[in-house]
Structure 1
Amino acid sequence: MVARSFNRAERVGGQVKKVLSDLILKGVSDPRLAQATITGVTMSKDLRIAKVYFAAHDGKHDQRDLTAGFESAKGFIKRELARELGLRYMPELKFFYDASFDYGAHIERVLKTLRSDDEKHYPTPEKQ
Protein backbone atom coordinates (compact mmCIF):
# COMPACT_ATOMS: atom_id res chain seq x y z
CA MET A 1 0.00 0.00 0.00
CA VAL A 2 1.33 3.44 -0.95
CA ALA A 3 1.08 6.16 1.69
CA ARG A 4 -0.60 9.33 0.49
CA SER A 5 1.60 12.38 0.83
CA PHE A 6 -0.01 15.64 1.83
CA ASN A 7 0.66 18.67 -0.31
CA ARG A 8 1.59 22.04 1.14
CA ALA A 9 -1.95 23.46 0.82
CA GLU A 10 -3.32 20.58 2.93
CA ARG A 11 -0.62 21.02 5.57
CA VAL A 12 -1.18 24.78 5.79
CA GLY A 13 -4.95 24.22 5.88
CA GLY A 14 -4.49 21.89 8.85
CA GLN A 15 -2.37 24.49 10.63
CA VAL A 16 -4.92 27.23 9.94
CA LYS A 17 -7.68 25.00 11.32
CA LYS A 18 -5.73 24.27 14.50
CA VAL A 19 -4.76 27.90 15.16
CA LEU A 20 -8.25 29.17 14.32
CA SER A 21 -9.88 26.59 16.62
CA ASP A 22 -7.60 27.71 19.46
CA LEU A 23 -8.39 31.36 18.74
CA ILE A 24 -12.12 30.73 18.97
CA LEU A 25 -11.67 28.95 22.29
CA LYS A 26 -9.32 31.46 23.87
CA GLY A 27 -8.88 34.67 21.90
CA VAL A 28 -12.01 35.86 20.12
CA SER A 29 -14.30 37.77 22.44
CA ASP A 30 -17.31 37.89 20.10
CA PRO A 31 -20.11 36.01 21.91
CA ARG A 32 -21.60 34.90 18.59
CA LEU A 33 -18.57 32.66 18.07
CA ALA A 34 -18.65 31.00 21.49
CA GLN A 35 -20.57 28.01 20.12
CA ALA A 36 -18.71 27.79 16.77
CA THR A 37 -16.59 24.83 15.73
CA ILE A 38 -14.18 24.86 12.80
CA THR A 39 -15.01 21.76 10.77
CA GLY A 40 -12.48 22.22 7.98
CA VAL A 41 -10.18 24.52 6.06
CA THR A 42 -9.30 24.17 2.40
CA MET A 43 -6.53 26.24 0.90
CA SER A 44 -6.08 27.22 -2.71
CA LYS A 45 -2.95 25.74 -4.27
CA ASP A 46 -1.22 29.15 -4.21
CA LEU A 47 -2.19 29.58 -0.51
CA ARG A 48 -3.92 32.89 -1.25
CA ILE A 49 -7.46 31.83 -0.26
CA ALA A 50 -8.56 29.86 2.80
CA LYS A 51 -12.12 28.54 2.82
CA VAL A 52 -13.05 28.08 6.47
CA TYR A 53 -16.01 25.80 7.22
CA PHE A 54 -17.76 26.08 10.57
CA ALA A 55 -20.77 24.73 12.47
CA ALA A 56 -22.44 25.45 15.80
CA HIS A 57 -22.03 23.10 18.79
CA ASP A 58 -25.71 23.06 19.56
CA GLY A 59 -27.06 23.57 16.04
CA LYS A 60 -29.42 26.28 17.31
CA HIS A 61 -27.40 29.32 16.28
CA ASP A 62 -28.33 31.13 13.11
CA GLN A 63 -25.69 30.71 10.44
CA ARG A 64 -26.02 34.41 9.52
CA ASP A 65 -25.10 35.42 13.08
CA LEU A 66 -22.11 33.10 13.08
CA THR A 67 -20.96 34.33 9.66
CA ALA A 68 -21.34 37.94 10.82
CA GLY A 69 -19.29 37.10 13.93
CA PHE A 70 -16.49 35.67 11.80
CA GLU A 71 -16.58 38.63 9.42
CA SER A 72 -16.44 41.02 12.38
CA ALA A 73 -13.42 39.22 13.86
CA LYS A 74 -11.68 38.69 10.49
CA GLY A 75 -9.02 41.38 11.05
CA PHE A 76 -8.08 40.01 14.47
CA ILE A 77 -8.09 36.44 13.14
CA LYS A 78 -5.83 37.33 10.20
CA ARG A 79 -3.33 39.13 12.46
CA GLU A 80 -3.18 36.19 14.86
CA LEU A 81 -2.87 33.66 12.04
CA ALA A 82 -0.07 35.70 10.47
CA ARG A 83 1.75 35.83 13.81
CA GLU A 84 1.35 32.07 14.42
CA LEU A 85 1.97 30.73 10.92
CA GLY A 86 4.65 33.03 9.52
CA LEU A 87 3.45 32.73 5.93
CA ARG A 88 4.81 35.04 3.24
CA TYR A 89 1.25 36.01 2.26
CA MET A 90 -1.71 35.86 4.61
CA PRO A 91 -4.56 34.11 2.80
CA GLU A 92 -7.90 35.79 2.25
CA LEU A 93 -10.35 34.17 4.66
CA LYS A 94 -13.77 33.12 3.39
CA PHE A 95 -16.24 31.66 5.87
CA PHE A 96 -18.86 29.05 5.02
CA TYR A 97 -21.47 27.39 7.23
CA ASP A 98 -21.12 23.59 7.27
CA ALA A 99 -24.65 22.19 7.38
CA SER A 100 -23.53 18.54 7.55
CA PHE A 101 -23.87 18.45 11.35
CA ASP A 102 -27.41 19.84 11.14
CA TYR A 103 -28.24 17.24 8.49
CA GLY A 104 -26.74 14.46 10.63
CA ALA A 105 -28.83 15.58 13.62
CA HIS A 106 -31.93 15.60 11.40
CA ILE A 107 -31.22 12.04 10.21
CA GLU A 108 -30.70 10.94 13.83
CA ARG A 109 -34.11 12.39 14.80
CA VAL A 110 -35.78 10.63 11.86
CA LEU A 111 -34.18 7.30 12.80
CA LYS A 112 -35.22 7.71 16.44
CA THR A 113 -38.80 8.40 15.33
CA LEU A 114 -38.79 5.31 13.11
CA ARG A 115 -37.44 3.16 15.96
CA SER A 116 -40.14 4.35 18.35
CA ASP A 117 -42.84 3.79 15.71
CA ASP A 118 -41.52 0.26 15.11
CA GLU A 119 -41.60 -0.48 18.84
CA LYS A 120 -45.23 0.70 19.05
CA HIS A 121 -46.43 -1.36 16.08
CA TYR A 122 -44.13 -4.36 16.38
CA PRO A 123 -43.21 -4.89 20.02
CA THR A 124 -40.40 -7.28 20.76
CA PRO A 125 -41.39 -10.53 22.55
CA GLU A 126 -39.85 -9.48 25.89
CA LYS A 127 -42.03 -6.31 25.92
CA GLN A 128 -45.32 -8.13 25.38
Structure 2
Amino acid sequence: MRKNSVKNIRINGEVQRVLAEIIRGELKDPRISPLTSVVSVEVAPDLKTCKAWISVYGDEDARKATIEGLKSAEGYIRRELAGRINLRNTPEIRFIVDQSIAYGVRMSKLIDEVSKGQSGEES
Protein backbone atom coordinates (compact mmCIF):
# COMPACT_ATOMS: atom_id res chain seq x y z
CA MET A 1 0.00 0.00 0.00
CA ARG A 2 1.40 3.37 -1.02
CA LYS A 3 1.62 6.23 1.45
CA ASN A 4 -0.99 8.44 -0.25
CA SER A 5 -3.26 5.74 -1.62
CA VAL A 6 -7.00 6.03 -1.14
CA LYS A 7 -6.92 3.11 1.29
CA ASN A 8 -4.19 4.72 3.41
CA ILE A 9 -6.03 8.06 3.49
CA ARG A 10 -9.22 6.27 4.58
CA ILE A 11 -7.36 4.37 7.32
CA ASN A 12 -5.74 7.62 8.56
CA GLY A 13 -9.16 9.27 8.82
CA GLU A 14 -10.72 6.34 10.63
CA VAL A 15 -7.85 6.02 13.11
CA GLN A 16 -8.00 9.78 13.75
CA ARG A 17 -11.75 9.63 14.43
CA VAL A 18 -11.48 6.67 16.80
CA LEU A 19 -8.45 8.11 18.62
CA ALA A 20 -10.34 11.36 19.19
CA GLU A 21 -13.33 9.44 20.59
CA ILE A 22 -11.13 7.43 22.95
CA ILE A 23 -9.16 10.45 24.19
CA ARG A 24 -12.24 12.65 24.58
CA GLY A 25 -14.60 10.18 26.17
CA GLU A 26 -12.86 7.25 27.78
CA LEU A 27 -9.52 8.26 29.29
CA LYS A 28 -9.87 9.22 32.94
CA ASP A 29 -6.24 10.25 33.53
CA PRO A 30 -6.23 13.65 35.27
CA ARG A 31 -2.98 14.58 33.46
CA ILE A 32 -4.79 14.61 30.11
CA SER A 33 -6.26 18.04 29.40
CA PRO A 34 -9.97 18.06 28.49
CA LEU A 35 -9.07 20.49 25.68
CA THR A 36 -7.04 17.93 23.72
CA SER A 37 -7.70 17.24 20.05
CA VAL A 38 -6.23 14.90 17.47
CA VAL A 39 -5.07 17.19 14.65
CA SER A 40 -3.70 14.61 12.25
CA VAL A 41 -2.80 10.94 12.03
CA GLU A 42 -0.32 9.24 9.74
CA VAL A 43 -0.42 5.43 9.71
CA ALA A 44 2.56 3.75 8.03
CA PRO A 45 1.70 1.75 4.90
CA ASP A 46 2.63 -1.51 6.68
CA LEU A 47 0.22 -0.61 9.55
CA LYS A 48 2.96 -1.15 12.16
CA THR A 49 3.39 2.44 13.36
CA CYS A 50 1.25 5.54 13.66
CA LYS A 51 2.12 9.16 14.34
CA ALA A 52 -0.65 11.12 16.01
CA TRP A 53 -0.32 14.91 16.19
CA ILE A 54 -2.07 16.19 19.31
CA SER A 55 -3.05 19.77 20.02
CA VAL A 56 -3.44 20.78 23.66
CA TYR A 57 -4.95 24.10 24.68
CA GLY A 58 -2.99 25.49 27.60
CA ASP A 59 0.53 26.17 28.75
CA GLU A 60 3.67 24.06 28.29
CA ASP A 61 3.06 22.16 31.55
CA ALA A 62 -0.40 21.10 30.34
CA ARG A 63 1.10 19.87 27.06
CA LYS A 64 3.80 17.84 28.80
CA ALA A 65 1.35 16.33 31.29
CA THR A 66 -1.08 15.42 28.51
CA ILE A 67 1.62 13.69 26.45
CA GLU A 68 2.79 11.77 29.55
CA GLY A 69 -0.79 10.69 30.23
CA LEU A 70 -1.32 9.59 26.63
CA LYS A 71 1.95 7.64 26.60
CA SER A 72 1.00 5.83 29.80
CA ALA A 73 -2.42 4.96 28.34
CA GLU A 74 -1.00 3.77 25.00
CA GLY A 75 -1.71 0.09 25.76
CA TYR A 76 -5.35 0.82 26.54
CA ILE A 77 -5.68 3.05 23.48
CA ARG A 78 -4.19 0.36 21.19
CA ARG A 79 -6.50 -2.30 22.64
CA GLU A 80 -9.55 -0.08 22.08
CA LEU A 81 -8.35 0.78 18.57
CA ALA A 82 -7.95 -2.93 17.76
CA GLY A 83 -11.49 -3.61 18.95
CA ARG A 84 -13.08 -0.84 16.90
CA ILE A 85 -11.11 -0.94 13.65
CA ASN A 86 -10.50 -4.20 11.85
CA LEU A 87 -6.89 -3.85 10.71
CA ARG A 88 -4.34 -6.57 9.98
CA ASN A 89 -2.00 -4.99 12.55
CA THR A 90 -2.82 -2.52 15.28
CA PRO A 91 -0.23 0.25 14.92
CA GLU A 92 2.10 1.34 17.68
CA ILE A 93 1.12 4.95 18.38
CA ARG A 94 3.61 7.80 18.82
CA PHE A 95 2.07 11.00 20.15
CA ILE A 96 3.54 14.28 18.92
CA VAL A 97 2.56 17.73 20.18
CA ASP A 98 1.32 19.85 17.30
CA GLN A 99 2.65 23.38 17.73
CA SER A 100 1.05 24.86 14.60
CA ILE A 101 -1.85 26.57 16.39
CA ALA A 102 0.42 28.16 19.01
CA TYR A 103 2.87 29.13 16.27
CA GLY A 104 0.06 30.77 14.26
CA VAL A 105 -1.16 32.75 17.28
CA ARG A 106 2.41 33.90 18.04
CA MET A 107 2.98 34.98 14.42
CA SER A 108 -0.33 36.83 14.39
CA LYS A 109 0.66 38.74 17.53
CA LEU A 110 4.05 39.61 16.04
CA ILE A 111 2.40 40.85 12.84
CA ASP A 112 -0.01 42.97 14.91
CA GLU A 113 2.90 44.47 16.87
CA VAL A 114 4.81 45.31 13.69
CA SER A 115 1.76 46.85 12.05
CA LYS A 116 1.01 48.94 15.18
CA GLY A 117 4.62 50.10 15.25
CA GLN A 118 4.48 51.16 11.60
CA SER A 119 1.18 52.97 11.94
CA GLY A 120 2.54 54.80 14.99
CA GLU A 121 5.53 56.04 12.98
CA GLU A 122 3.33 57.46 10.23
CA SER A 123 1.24 59.59 12.60
Q: TM-score range by the shorter chain?
A: 0.7 to 0.9
**Equivalent residue, structure 1, for 2:87:** 87
Alpha-carbon distance, 1:105 to partner: 1.3
Q: For structure 2, list consecutive stretches of 5 or more residues without a partner in the other structure.
A: none
Alpha-carbon distance, 1:106 to partner: 1.0
Aligned equivalents of 2:104, 2:35: Cα separation in 1: 18
Q: Is the CA contact (8 Å cut-off) linking 2:24 and 2:36 kept in structure 1?
A: no
Alpha-carbon distance, 1:9 to partner: 2.1
Q: Percent of pairs identical after alignment?
A: 27
TM-score (norm 1): 0.81
Aligned equivalents of 2:99, 2:21: Cα separation in 1: 22
**Equivalent residue, structure 2, for 1:56:** 56
Alignment of 1:39 onto 2:39 = yes
Alignment of 1:67 onto 2:67 = yes
Q: Write the letter of the residue equivalent to 2:71.
A: E
The size of the alignment, in residue pairs, is 118
Tell me, what secondary structure is at the counterpart of 1:37? strand
Tell me, what secondary structure is at the counterpart of 2:76? helix
Aligned equivalents of 2:48, 2:75: Cα separation in 1: 16
Aligned equivalents of 2:17, 2:122: Cα separation in 1: 48
Aligned equivalents of 2:118, 2:30: Cα separation in 1: 42
Tell me, what secondary structure is at the counterpart of 1:86? coil
Aligned equivalents of 2:64, 2:122: Cα separation in 1: 43
Please identify the structure whose Cα radius of gyration is greater: 1
**RMSD, aligned α-carbons:** 1.8
Aligned equivalents of 2:7, 2:29: Cα separation in 1: 31
Q: Write the letter of the residue equivalent to 2:47.
A: L
TM-score (norm 2): 0.84
